Amino acid sequence: MLLKDKIAVIYGGGGAIGGATARTFAREGAEIFLAGRTLERLERVAADIRAEGGRVTVDILDAQDEAAVNDHADRVAARAGGIDIALNAVSVPHKQGRPLAEVSLGEFEHTIGANTRTNFLTARAVARHMRPRGGGVILTLTAPGSRVSRPGFLAHGIACSAIETFSRLLAVELGQFGVRVICLKSDAIPDAVPLSYTRELFDDMTRGFGTTTEAWLEVHAREDTQLGRLPRLDQIADYAAFVASDRAGAMTGALANLTCGSVLD
């Protein structure tokens, strides 16, 4: 098992990537602490983990709330004896594909600010418990938005760039304490689309392009990627488990390209 007896906190654990990664981490031997705002989704993931004999705890948490994030990390560390791995898979609702004139200042600021806020708060909270142990792994998520070359993605692209830069500099901050930081960059994941928020996001975007989500995904996979396909949830989760394990102990400050070649870093 890659993650035997590791303690993993998954923020946004009821979402597509957070849930898939939590299930994979559990299969690899980690004890999972799921945190998120929607109990039903969290419990659905937890039920899958328990059905396979995994260890999991569910907590309702707003990962934008500084005090709540700090308190939660303290409680997890006290109960489990520390924190080894943290993944921020928190979704920030926003709209894509709209021209600049239709984007309000509030929407622009929210997309960038909420993404950077939650990543900062969760990373700082878990790092306080990783440093005394002399190690740990913090995983962040981004998308190809920083490299997109069509209009309608200004705030989203800046948010992606911010998370990538944050992850690199966080690795600089924490490397001296043995804490590794990896940023996972994934393109659209077709088997994540059925989740309500993801579906709404894609439908809104593709409607602006005059097409449907399914049609856009098919064309995007065929014409815009090097592999002619898009990533699957299990592929993202499997890679996350690998980089969170000691087998990837030489890796930090890295941007892992999981886009099937829609962008080449």
pLDDT digits (tens, 9 = 90+) for 48-77: 999 999 999 999 999 999 999 999 999 999
Question: What one-character-per-residue DSSP string does 17-80 give?
Answer: HHHHHHHHHHHTT-EEEEEES-HHHHHHHHHHHHHTT--EEEEE--TT-HHHHHHHHHHHHHHH
With 0.85 as the threshold, say if the pTM is over it. yes
Q: At 24, list the tokens.
A: 């994979």
Q: What is the residue extent of each domain of the chain?
A: 7-186+231-258
C-alpha dist (Å) from residue 251 to 78, 138, 248: 28, 12, 6
How is the beta sheet containing 7-11 ordered, strand by strand?
56-60, 31-36, 7-11, 85-88, 136-142, 179-186, 254-258
Q: What's CA 171's distance to the chain center, in Å?
A: 17
Q: Which spans in 88-195 are helix H?
A: 105-130, 154-174
Q: Residues for the chain: how many in total?
A: 265
Q: What angle do CA 18, 12, 31 make, to 5 degrees?
A: 65
Taking only the tens of pLDDT, the chain with its 265 residues reads: 999 999 999 999 999 999 999 999 999 999 999 999 999 999 999 999 999 999 999 999 999 999 999 999 999 999 999 999 999 999 887 777 778 888 899 999 999 999 999 999 999 999 999 999 999 999 999 999 888 877 778 999 999 999 999 999 999 999 999 999 999 999 999 988 776 566 777 777 777 677 888 888 898 899 999 999 999 999 999 999 999 999 999 999 999 999 999 999 7
Residues paired with 180 in a beta bridge: 137
Q: Is residue 134 within a helix (H) or strand (E), and if so which, with residue range?
A: none
- The phi, psi pair for 160, rounded to 5°, reads -60, -45
Angle separating helix axes 39-51 and 16-27, nearest 10 degrees: 20
Instruction: Classify domain 7-186+231-258 by CATH number.
Output: 3.40.50.720
Residue 83, helix vs strand vs coil: coil
C-alpha dist (Å) from residue 4 to 1, 20, 54, 74, 77: 5, 18, 11, 22, 17
